[in-house]
Structure 1
Amino acid sequence: METKSSDHGVKAHGDGWLLTVALIEGTGILSAGSSKPFDLYAVFTCNTKRKTSSIKFHASDPKWNEIFEFDAMDDPPSRMDVAIHDSNQLDEAPIGHAEVNFLKSNLSDLMDIWVPLDGKCDPASNPKLHLRIFLNNSRGTEVVLNYLAKMGNEVGKKINLRSAQTNLAFRKLFNLPPEEFLIDDFTCHLKRKMPLQGRVFFSPRIIGFYSNIFGHKTKFFFLWEDVDDIQVIPPTLSIGSPSLMVILRKDRGSEAKHGAKATDHHGRLKFHFQSFVSFNDAHRIIMGIWKMRSPGQEQKGEVIEESEPKELQAEECGSLFTHEDVKMSEIFSSVLSVDVESLMEMFSGGQLEHKVMQKTGCLDYSSTEWELVSRNIFKRQISYKFDKALSRYGGEASTTQQKYALVNQDGWAIEEVMTLQGVLLGDYFNLQLKYHMANIPSKPNTCSVQVLLGIAWLKSTKQQKKITKNIMSNTSNRLKELFSLVEKDLTSRNGGS
């Protein structure tokens, strides 16, 4: 039987924030509707670092008494995820999970706690873990000065230490623990249905917003580590300077939902901040902290120069899609027996791409080379004609694609905007597609593919419902055929593996 190796008892090393977790015991960890006990082990994850306990066999009330020390972290952690697994079900979701949020707890409260577990465990048995958690920093009072100096180097200007009174007021406003400190704050408007004037606050672990208009208060904060993307929105006629769109990861930041402008088709909350007195200063700070909180993160926002803010193009701001309100629907989803690196050959402009596109009805197919247009974003142009099987009217398609590496997964996203010529009512709409392709960590040489489609209507027509139905159906069928051909071609080269 395969056993899970344990890294308990390994001493931490380094200088910074030190996290020590003592896993004492668990109680009531039983399967709902089954009397068979689990073979249990615990996994603790904090700031992408992971620690795994030993396995306790056939135990519903396991006794561990194991200590885990995380290597020093430059930034104070915001949360620690706790998961309980059954070693007989290695590829499945945890049977129980919990979250320890350091921003909602005073550190003294964590020194001896029982953490309730959610998940597959029988709730009637009150499943929980007994933990002792200690978080401190080895740099003492220098930790704040070191952080601000590092932050200043990142953004290219000195960041001054705020007064003790200012930091105390900031912590009190958002009910934060004593180790949190303010980096910077800016006057701005929060854009929802109506713009709301207030202040946005940046600290090492949170972005917070506060407004008090004639006694009507609006207040929320969310974690930096929950930020999935930061996009710059170009100026408009009504707002003469750029603004910032902060997009959270799916199902994160629910406590701040009342401050969000919208929830996108992925279930991600979007927060829109505008009318900064100095957009460039705010942008430098927000991108600098995000980069420091997420080492190696693929950033999609470019720092713009104060002298030329209006030259920022939409595709340099993260998304190729200019029609933000278009509803995107999943039209294809599959698991393929190839890895993402191999699959990306179908977007390389090479022989495989030309072959499969022609087989799926795209004639005279041509594509430009991928061109780096922003720090981590590549763009290219594609054109082709439809054969009669795809469109009885014939017609041509002109497509702009951009690609970027996924932030939290091993894979790529490709966005595509397609315009049609010579197709019935083709000038009434554009098509928006997004491909999301990621390796599946538990299954080598396997990746998941999801494709979303949205129709941006440029003019109204009574045929809108009929056209939408036809496009959805035809594109879905074409993608099934396309990815099937690609998978067959790639796997046949590897001997069908």
Structure 2
Amino acid sequence: MKCGANRVVKGKDDGWLLTVALIEGSNLATLSSSGLSDPYVILTCNGQKRTSSIKFQTLNPLWNDVLEFDAMCEPPSRMDIVVCDFDGPFDEAISLGNAEVNFLKSNLSELSDVWVPLQGKFSQACHSKLHLKIFLKNSKGSTIVMEYLTKMEKEVGKKINMRSPQTNSMFQKQFDLPPEEFLIDDFTCQLKRKMPLQGRLFLSPRIFGFYANLFGNKTKFFFLWDDIEDIQVVPPSLASVGSPSLLIILCKGRGMDAKHGAKGMDQKGRLKFHFQSFVSFNAANRTIMALWKTKSTERNGQTLEAETKTESLQPQDNESFQGLEEVKMLEVCSSSLSISANQLMGAFEGGLLEQKIVEKSGRLEHHATPWEEVKCNVHQRQVSYKFDKSKFRYEGEVNSIQKRHPLTDGNGWVVEESMSLQGVLLSDCFSLQFKYQVENSPTKPLACTVQVLVGIVWLKSTKHQKRIIKSVTSNTCLHLKEMFRQVEKELSQDK
């Protein structure tokens, strides 16, 4: 499969390995006056995200991309799919449709070659669909189950025994689950609706299930741990026979297959499930919270790998900085500010002012090394951060080297920055160079002018240079003006 692939995104490590071959798309929607789109696909699973290549000016793209996810310690519950229309690397992604692959409700053999219909107003009208080949395998065999149970024992604080093959088989049959799903624990309790219903909770790595059989009337349902938005402990009451109970609130629109077991739906469209009368509430609560916490952490992408990437920040060799004279520079911003040049430079000093500006401008996990003198009056540092999508409309990571030195007349400063990008569309084609020139006003004592130039270093040829230049310059201008406005505001508040 990989031999004929146009693009391969490799995963790593051992465990549950998910590989998706994105073959093609059919009848995709368009929002452009040209009648064509520039589609690409974003796959998200267990907090990991993979992005396909972009296919330009087509409604029936042929990708042949192979996207591999890093190994997971447990099988994934779902994979979210979004098809977007590319406008520019720093422009908001426009959705052309979306879909979901639920691994608990799908047969893996069927997923090995499947057409997935897209949801959404435009895609449904066009009958849009994607051709995928999805493969999920366990590279560790039965040891992966023991490793998972050992990890959960530490979270729960008690011994968890592996269930027999017969018990797991009955559990899978009871809820129509795939053979890789295994039972972790089960608890007797009541499902609180109009009338309490005695039954059992069944907990596995991916599902929270309930089963009751009252005089031959069976009630069963399950939802995914990924579906849960909040779990609340309800204090004891007469109705709960003097013991605490659990209220489980699902995310909006999730778990609709389990709606018949819900106590109700709130005004936000979230299903609520109420469980009470546990034989051992503390044991059940610890296990449920540990399993939910594990899945919540994965969903939010708070992995150890992400932490170690930012902690590995080290000053680089001076030779890695590319001089601005080698790049064609364009002016993207010029402003007059009611602060001095030295005050504005506080936004580059690594102190409290820079910290405030970083937080308000949407730069997450910001790390900067101390300024180090590399030659007389020239200092250098390294900076890294992630874009907050809610502020920037796009995602990605930045690693940059900054140099600063005073103007020859001593009336201001120059900051030069060489920036590389990861996780930004087409970022393998270019890197960025910035030059900030900050100069005190000759007529006003507490005022300065700042001029910002940007240059694009083309790492490889692309026929979409004009689109990239437009996206870089327009978005850079907006965010720089906002940054300078925030600096002025913060300094005025400190007066």
Q: TM-score by structure 2 length? A: 0.59
SS at match of 1:72: coil
Residues 75 and 293 of structure 1 are in contact (CA less than 8 Å); yes or no, is this contact kept in structure 2? no
2:96 touches 2:123 (CA, 8 Å); kept in 1? no
Mapping of residues 17-416 of structure 1, within 5 Å: 17-31=16-30, 36-88=35-87, 90-239=91-240, 240-295=242-297
CA distance in 2, matches of 1:491, 1:106: 59
Q: Which has the larger radius of gyration?
A: 2
Partner-residue secondary structure (3-state), 1:9: strand
Quick one: percent identity of the two aligned structures?
A: 58
Gaps of at least 5 residues in structure 1 are 1-6, 299-337, 344-409, 412-437, 445-487
Matched letter for residue 262 of structure 1: G
Following TM superposition, by how much is the alpha carbon of 1:294 offset from its aligned partner in structure 2, in angstroms?
Answer: 2.3
1:160 and 1:225 mapped to 2: Cα distance? 24
Output the CA distance in 1 between the equivalents of 2:45 and 2:157.
Answer: 29
**Residue 10 of structure 1 contacts residue 68 of structure 1 at CA under 8 Å; is this kept in 2?**
yes
Distance 1:180 1:443, change over 3 A: closer
Letter of the 1:80 partner, please give it: M
Q: Distance in 2 between matches of 1:282 and 1:50?
A: 32
Match of 1:493 among 472, 490, 494: 490
* Distance change >3 Å, CA 216–CA 293, structure 1 → 2: same
In structure 2, relative to structure 1, the CA distance for the partners of 1:183 and 1:85 (3 Å cut) is same
> 2: CA distance between counterparts of 1:494 and 1:233?
47
1:163–1:21 CA distance, 2 compared to 1 (3 A): same
Query: How much has 1:214 moved relative to structure 2?
Result: 1.2
Q: TM-score, normalised by structure 1?
A: 0.59
* Structural RMSD (CA): 3.0
Give the CA deviation at 1:95.
0.8
Compute the displacement of 1:185 (Å): 0.7
Q: Secondary structure at the match of 1:217?
A: strand
Deviations 1:11-61 (A, max 9, x none): 211121111000011111133896611011111111111111111111111
C-alpha distance 54-107 of structure 1, shift in aligned 2 (>3 A): same
Query: Residues 20 and 135 of structure 2 are in contact (CA less than 8 Å); yes or no, is this contact kept in structure 1?
Result: yes
Q: Secondary structure at the match of 2:292?
A: helix
Q: Which amino acid aligns with 2:278?
A: F
| CA shift for structure 1 position 157 | 0.9
CA distance in 2, matches of 1:28, 1:439: 30
Task: Give the superposition deviation at 1:116.
Answer: 0.5
8 Å CA contact 2:15, 2:72 repeated in 1: yes
Change in CA separation of 1:192 and 1:274 when aligned onto 2, cut-off 3 Å? same
Corresponding letter in the other structure for 1:67: V
> 1:8, 1:52 within 8 Å by CA — same for their partners in 2?
no
- Looking at structure 2, the residues matched to 163 and 258 of structure 1 have their Cα atoms a distance apart, in angstroms, of 31
Moved over 6 A (4+): 32-35, 488-491
1:101 aligned partner, one-letter code? N
Residue 121 to residue 170, structure 1, CA distance change in 2 (3 Å): same
1:403-435 C-alpha deviation (Å, 9 max, x unpaired): xxxxxxx99xxxxxxxxxxxxxxxxxxxxxxxx
Task: Compute the displacement of 1:256 (Å).
Answer: 0.8
SS of residue paired to 1:95: strand
Residues in 2 aligned to 1:181 and 1:296: alpha-carbon distance in whole angstroms: 19
Q: Which has the higher contact order (CA 8 A, sep 6+)?
A: 2
Q: What is the CA distance between 1:248 and its match in structure 2? A: 0.9
Query: Whole-Å Cα distance in 1 between the matches of residues 261 and 201 of structure 2?
Result: 12
Amino acid at match of 2:286: R
Secondary structure of 1:294's counterpart equals helix
1:402 — aligned with what?
none
Q: Is the 8 A contact 1:31 1:120 kept in 2?
A: no
Task: Give 3-state SS (helix, strand or coil) of 1:65's partner.
Answer: strand
SS at match of 1:255: helix
For residues 170-214 of structure 1, give each alpha carbon's deviation from its aligned partner in whole angstroms, at most 9, with x where no partner exists: 111110001000001111100111111111110000000111111
Unmatched 5+ stretches in structure 2: 1-5, 301-355, 362-386, 396-484
